[in-house]
């Protein structure tokens, strides 16, 4: 009778040790899987962010190029106006400068 109780206790103990070992093994396996998933998600996020950065760079590059074209056009228009003013007034200005130097 006592031997049967001791045997059952030992059987339960062995079963509990086996369940505990399996649980620890499963826990370790899950932790490894979580670490892999975390690493994969981190890599995906890094790739996503890098893609977004490239899109922003391209967008900003296009904006800068557009602004530069607009400034170049404005400068060309202003240069044409200055040349026109110079051509219209050059004889008068030359004569005026000459008169100032001579007189």
CA distance 76 to 70: 10
CA distance 43 to 57: 21
Q: Where are the domains of the chain?
A: 1-73
CA distance 24 to 29: 8
pLDDT in tens, the chain (103 residues): 888 889 999 999 999 999 999 999 999 999 999 999 999 999 999 999 999 999 999 999 999 999 999 999 999 999 999 999 999 999 999 999 999 998 7
Which of the 8 DSSP states describes residue 69? H
Supply angle C-alpha 69, 67, 72, rounded to 5. Answer: 35
């Amino acid at each position: 009778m006592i031997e049967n109780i001791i045997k059952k206790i030992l059987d339960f103990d062995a079963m509990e040790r086996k369940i505990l070992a399996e649980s620890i093994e499963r826990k370790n396996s899950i932790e490894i899987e979580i670490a892999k998933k975390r690493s994969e998600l981190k890599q995906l996020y890094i790739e996503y962010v890098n893609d977004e950065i490239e899109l922003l760079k391209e967008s900003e590059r296009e904006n800068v190029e557009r602004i530069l074209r607009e400034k170049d056009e404005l400068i060309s228009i202003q240069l044409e106006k200055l040349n026109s003013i110079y051509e219209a007034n050059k004889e008068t200005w030359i004569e005026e400068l000459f008169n100032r130097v001579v007189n």
